[in-house]
Amino acid sequence: MPETQHVRANKLYNLRKVQVRIDQLRATMQETAMASALFNINNAMAEYEEVRLIAKDDRNPAAMNSATTGKTKVAGLFEKDQDSLL
């Protein structure tokens, strides 16, 4: 009886050298995803800072506060419970 593609794939998947390579590829993908996420976080932080500085020059404290709040949200420092305090 001939092997199906699934049986052959499973046999290959269970080989140690194939598992090592799969782990390497997964690690590379995770590193790339993390680098991309950091790039986006850094861009967002820079834009919020730029907006905050413009608001400061315009003497607009509400806009400064909004930009600072945005930065804390991007950084993960803003908790939902604190939202009602602002």
User: Which pLDDT belongs to residue 10?
Assistant: 92
Report the C-alpha gap between 19 and 24 in whole angstroms: 9
Q: What angle do CA 39, 45, 50 make, to 5 degrees?
A: 125
Report the C-alpha gap between 55 and 57 in whole angstroms: 5
Q: What angle do CA 62, 78, 66 make, to 5 degrees?
A: 15
Domain total for the chain? 1
Window from 28-32, 61-65, 75-79, 82-86 with minimum mean pLDDT: 82-86
Q: Is the pLDDT of residue 84 over 60?
A: no
- 15 lies in which domain range? 5-83
Mean pLDDT throughout 45-54? 95
